[in-house]
Amino acid sequence: MKIILLQGDITKMEVDAIVNAANTSLLGGGGVDGAIHRAGGPAILEACRKIRDRQGRCAPGEAVITTAGNLPARFVIHTVGPVWNKGNDEEKQVLRNAYLNSLDLAVKNGVQTIAFPNISTGVYRFPKDVAAAIAVAAVKEFMSQDDRITHLIFVCFEKENYDIYSGLLSQN
């Protein structure tokens, strides 16, 4: 069980699943969501629409899984992080749930290698240092109880997030 830190573009990752920081519509958006749909092609949106038709919107903290279309990954796990509202709306718990529910869905689908972006730290304005601490704690907790994920990669797009994760992961 390895946690790996990279700076780069998650759409390029050759892993079983990449995680998307989606919104409750599941129908695409900007940021990493836009990048994944652009690079993966229309099969991802088509799969998202089918899920929407079946179960409606995806609530914050929940996750769904689709094909990865033309991406090198096999699956995209779409999760919805919280919009930061000064910590008033249980955003921390919702962010933790987004990581844990994504991992849960991953192992149910036989995923062994998975890459996460820094959920909620862009458009949704979650403080980056707090978000990183929640992400690292959640995945370490999950991986200490379940050994089916062999490699977990935090893919930071920005140097600021990379440096924060680097500091956190070098601690024991």
Give the residues lining the site for ligand AR6 (CB under 6 A). Answer: 9-11, 21-23, 29-33, 35, 81, 117-124, 155, 157-158, 161
Reported residue count of the chain is: 172
Of the pair 78, 142, the CB lying nearest ligand AR6 is at 78
Q: Give the C-alpha separation, 51 to 113, whole Å.
A: 24
110 closest CA partner among 79, 86, 137, 74: 74
Task: Give the pair of three-digit tokens for residue 50.
Answer: 């089918």
Q: How far is CA 31 from CA 10, 38, 44, 113, 115, in A?
A: 11, 11, 16, 23, 16
Reported as type and span, the H/E element at residue 76 is strand 75-80
The DSSP letter of residue 103 is H
Q: Give the C-alpha separation, 127 to 121, whole Å.
A: 6
CB of residue 110 to ligand AR6, shortest distance in Å:
24
CB of residue 142 to ligand AR6, shortest distance in Å:
20
Of the pair 26, 111, the CB lying nearest ligand AR6 is at 26
Q: Decide: 36 and 10 in contact? Cβ < 8 Å.
A: yes
Active site residue 33: yes
Of the pair 146, 160, the CB lying nearest ligand AR6 is at 160
CB of residue 1 to ligand AR6, shortest distance in Å:
22
CB of residue 144 to ligand AR6, shortest distance in Å:
25
Q: Which of 33, 53, 104, 146 is catalytic?
A: 33
Of the pair 126, 142, the CB lying nearest ligand AR6 is at 126
Catalytic residues: 33
